[in-house]
Structure 1
Amino acid sequence: MTPENAPASRWNDLERPPLNESALRHALLQPGGLWTSLDIVPSTGSTNSDLAARAASLEGEGAVLVAEEQTAGRGRLDRSWTSPARSGLFLSVLLRPGKNVPTERWGWLPLLAGVACATGLARAAGVDMSLKWPNDLLVKVNGEERKTGGILAERAGDDAVVVGIGLNVTLRADELPVPGAGSLALANAISTDRDPLLRAVLRSLEQWYGDWREAGGDPGLSGVQEAYAAGCATLGRPVRAELPGERSVIGEAVAIDGDGRLVLSTEGGGRQAISAGDIVHLRPAG
């Protein structure tokens, strides 16, 4: 039988082996820990959509859903996210911050997840990862900033949030969905083994989320605001904020405020806080 007509097998691409579900459960599902269940599916449209649909039937928080392949992954502004099977990490987690965290602070969850991913992967993959406001994960490929991941947080009922994470791990240059994309492999990561990378992301997320929730969702007391600002590649550079209603604002990104908004210093000395929009990093004049 030739490779072209061979039946589908989890071992067809030995460079991209499947995740080890039993080992991951053993490592991550600990008594008293955040993660309460972990399921891996071969393929699905969107882990966020699937987990949100199950949220009402699940008790507590900490459910993790991972897909080896996403066929209709979603990013911000309804953008699509697709990658070859087993080439990345595609997962969603169910969180219920509880009554001690005011709902107006839940908007910090995607930024917190960005900090968790960047810090966890810096250790496990040995890459210098930075954050583009509000929820892009950047690596450098041949000295150029490239998006290698993204985060999408969505409400699931009155008391729950589903946080989705998509990360390109082993994508080659000819597999990138757009020219500005990247992957851990292209960034010369010291490891692209997805099992330890997934463990690192979830353990880091558990730590940052626990500290944030213990602080009542306060971004300052929990250290999330400081950590995000320290790792944010958007700060200190000229940007264009493309806002709803086909409006745009140009200025220098100078701060992340207590509500997680990007603060721009605009022409004439004014300041504007951006709560939603698309940010374009501009080259400095001259």
Structure 2
Amino acid sequence: MKPHDAAEPNNSRWSDLERPPLNAVALRRALVREGGLWSEVDVVQRTGSTNTDLVARAVEGKVREGTVLIAEEQTAARGRLDRQWTAPARSGLFFSVLLRPAEIPVARWGWLPLLTGVAVATGLSRAAGVDTALKWPNDLLVTVGGEERKAGGILAERAGDDGVVIGVGINVTLREPELPVPTAGSLALAGAVSTDRDPLLRAVLRSLEDWYGRWRAAGGDAAASGLQETYAAGCATLGRAVRAELPGNRSITGEAVAVDGDGRLVVATEEGVREPVGAGDIVHLRPT
């Protein structure tokens, strides 16, 4: 991996003046403090996947909890279900963080990607002035031209016995011709009041530190920490007709009625069954 200020002979970091590079020194100064969560902030010019890199470093014992790895460009980024995800260099926020909630029962770790979604949405709402919503379990939605579009995603992966790496990708300045699919969006297309990535990233990481601290203080109890209620309030999936595509080529259709204490989406089917969904792909169905 190359450091942030490494020379790039074929791709100058100043090649797109509307997309200036992140200021790694200023980010460290703002985020790394005594007694805080964030212990290290590392910005690299290009890598395959920040999640892959940080998981490897965590397993080798080379990094502490609170390490943040940010890439200006990812060449092999992954979403859920091994989906590939690409974006132009410096067009978004692409980063991973290492958390080690060792004192929290592992059964409650499933809330971490949902917690991250709440933190990202609340941080961006304040810093970018964009109305954001969450699609269960890990998509960030914005409204572009009256349509619901995906502007970001979250991927959590175990890192050894005591760690979790959470990767976040947020489209910030993607223009319409650059969108990978018509259903994608960006903060700029949603009318953000600011697309300056430095303050956006600071806001998101401070929000994540706050929510992670609340959750840990409550012993990982999503209800007691206020996380379950806040997630439900910002979840665009609840109250919607959905199709849940489950492992084993099974699917169910019904109304998403709740997020339970384990972070699972509860779907009320036409047969009157309330089925909790812990893993799978959720499709928002249009009303007939």
SS at match of 1:255: strand
Is the 2:57–2:63 Cα contact (8 Å) retained in structure 1? no
Q: In structure 1, list runs of 5 or more residues that go unmatched.
A: 1-5
Q: How much identity, in percent, do the aligned residues show?
A: 74
The change in CA–CA distance for 1:71 and 1:59 in structure 2 (over 3 A counts) is: closer
Cα drift, residue 244 of structure 1: 1.0
Q: Give the corresponding residue for 1:195.
A: 198
Cα distance in 1, alignment partners of residues 258 and 201 from structure 2: 30
2:79 is aligned with 1:75:
yes
Alignment TM-score, normalising by the size of structure 1: 0.96
Alignment TM-score, normalising by the size of structure 2: 0.95
Aligned-residue CA RMSD (Å):
1.0
Q: Give the corresponding residue for 1:160.
A: 163
Residue 73 of structure 2 aligns with an amino acid whose one-letter code is E
Q: Give the corresponding residue for 2:233.
A: 230
2:244 is aligned with 1:241:
yes
Q: Give the corresponding residue for 1:84.
A: 88
Cα distance in 2, alignment partners of residues 222 and 36 from structure 1: 24
SS at match of 2:120: helix
Residue 96 of structure 1 aligns with an amino acid whose one-letter code is R
After superposition, give the CA deviation of every residue in 1:179-204 in whole Å (9 maximum; x if it has no partner). 10000000010000000000001000
Q: May I ask how many residue pairs the two structures share in their alignment? A: 279
- After TM superposition, list the pairs within 5 Å mapping 1:95-106 onto structure 2: 95-99=99-103, 101-106=104-109
Q: Give the corresponding residue for 1:30.
A: 33
- After TM superposition, list the pairs within 5 Å mapping 1:1-286 onto structure 2: 7-55=10-58, 56-58=60-62, 60-99=64-103, 101-285=104-288
Cα drift, residue 283 of structure 1: 1.4
The change in CA–CA distance for 1:7 and 1:268 in structure 2 (over 3 A counts) is: closer
After superposition, give the CA deviation of every residue in 1:88-142 in whole Å (9 maximum; x if it has no partner). 000000000022x100000100000000000000000000000000000000001
Runs of 4+ in 1 over 6 A off after TM superposition: none
Cα distance in 2, alignment partners of residues 106 and 152 from structure 1: 13
Is the 2:240–2:285 Cα contact (8 Å) retained in structure 1? yes
The change in CA–CA distance for 1:268 and 1:36 in structure 2 (over 3 A counts) is: same
Q: Give the corresponding residue for 2:6.
A: none
Cα distance in 1, alignment partners of residues 243 and 72 from structure 2: 35
SS at match of 2:252: strand
Cα distance in 1, alignment partners of residues 221 and 62 from structure 2: 27
Q: In structure 2, list runs of 5 or more residues that go unmatched.
A: 1-8
After superposition, give the CA deviation of every residue in 1:4-58 in whole Å (9 maximum; x if it has no partner). xx95322111000000000000000011100000000000000000000000323
